[in-house]
């Protein structure tokens, strides 16, 4: 059954993110290359990854070049910091990295702030989602159930969390507790009655972490259009490994 689904890890960082393990432990002498990221994704059996560094699109093409000839699909992206939480901006594999960079710049990030998650846009989180959607992307609230910067886990008032959660431009949520997927999908989480598609991704900050969490999508092609369809029909087209009757769990 899993063969009908594609394995996606849509939250992968590179050393351009200041919180990458290479940068946190400089004494270890790690110098991760794009080929290391691609090789780890292929070894994990992934069909696609998204490059989502903090507030920058700089390393998308770096990874794309390393992936040529491997069959691994690279979605363009960035992880945008807002005051209320992080948002994954995901774009089609064919999207020029310059387009993603333009979206990041439009949201107010300066060159010296790229890669640093502790700078945030002055735009409200829902407004950031609108900008991403209108630029042709998908806006996914990142690790919503985890601190730091998962908006549901922040100290923001419930009214603000609900305003974000119910925003029409928010495509889906990324969770880190896979057992909660059915409740989010059914609108059964207390206070959060809207049914939401859930993704899980590695949020990897080192090659060894790539694929530690992934989502299965039943799509014929790895494009943002088909991913949007899978999100809209999440009951049928999106799965987590543990939901596959033990296959690939």
Q: Give the model confidence (pLDDT) of 221-239 as tens digits.
A: 999 999 999 999 999 999 9
What pLDDT shows up at residue 122?
95
Residue-range domains of the chain with CATH: 2-243 (3.20.20.140)
- Bin 175: left if φ > 0, else alpha if -120 < ψ < 50, else beta: beta
Q: What is the arrangement of strands in the sheet containing 48-51, beginning at the earlier edge strand?
A: 198-199, 172-174, 138-141, 86-91, 73-81, 48-51, 6-12, 215-217, 238-239
Per-residue pLDDT of the chain (249 residues; tens, 9 = 90+): 456 899 999 999 999 999 999 999 988 888 999 999 999 999 999 999 999 999 999 999 999 999 999 999 999 999 999 999 999 999 999 999 999 999 999 999 998 899 999 999 999 999 999 999 999 999 999 999 998 889 999 999 999 999 999 999 999 999 999 999 999 999 999 999 999 999 999 999 999 999 999 999 999 999 999 999 999 999 999 999 999 965 443
Helix axes 60-67, 97-106, angle to 10 degrees: 160
pLDDT at residue 248, as a whole number: 40
């Amino acid at each position: 059954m899993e063969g009908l689904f594609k394995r996606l890890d849509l939250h992968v960082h590179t050393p351009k993110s200041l919180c990458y393990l290479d940068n946190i432990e400089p004494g270890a002498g790690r110098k991760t290359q794009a080929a290391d990221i691609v090789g780890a994704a292929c070894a994990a059996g992934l069909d696609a990854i998204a490059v989502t560094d903090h507030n920058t699109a700089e390393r998308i093409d770096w990874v794309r070049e390393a992936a040529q000839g491997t069959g691994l699909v690279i979605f363009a992206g960035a992880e945008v910091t807002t005051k209320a939480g992080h948002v994954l901006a995901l774009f089609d594999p064919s999207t020029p990295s310059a387009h993603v960079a333009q979206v990041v710049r439009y949201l107010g990030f300066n060159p010296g702030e790229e890669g640093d998650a502790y700078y945030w846009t002055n735009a409200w989180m829902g407004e950031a989602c609108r900008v991403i959607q209108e630029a042709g992307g998908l806006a996914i609230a990142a690790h919503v159930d985890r601190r730091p910067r998962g908006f549901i886990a922040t100290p923001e008032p419930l009214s603000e969390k609900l305003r974000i959660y119910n925003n029409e431009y928010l495509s889906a949520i990324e969770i880190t507790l896979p057992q909660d997927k059915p409740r989010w999908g059914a609108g059964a989480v207390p206070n959060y009655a809207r049914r939401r598609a859930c993704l899980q991704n590695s949020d990897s900050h080192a090659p060894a972490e790539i694929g530690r969490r992934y989502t299965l999508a039943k799509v014929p092609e790895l494009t943002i259009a088909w991913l949007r369809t899978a999100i809209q029909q999440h009951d049928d087209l999106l799965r987590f490994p543990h939901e596959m009757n033990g296959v690939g769990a």
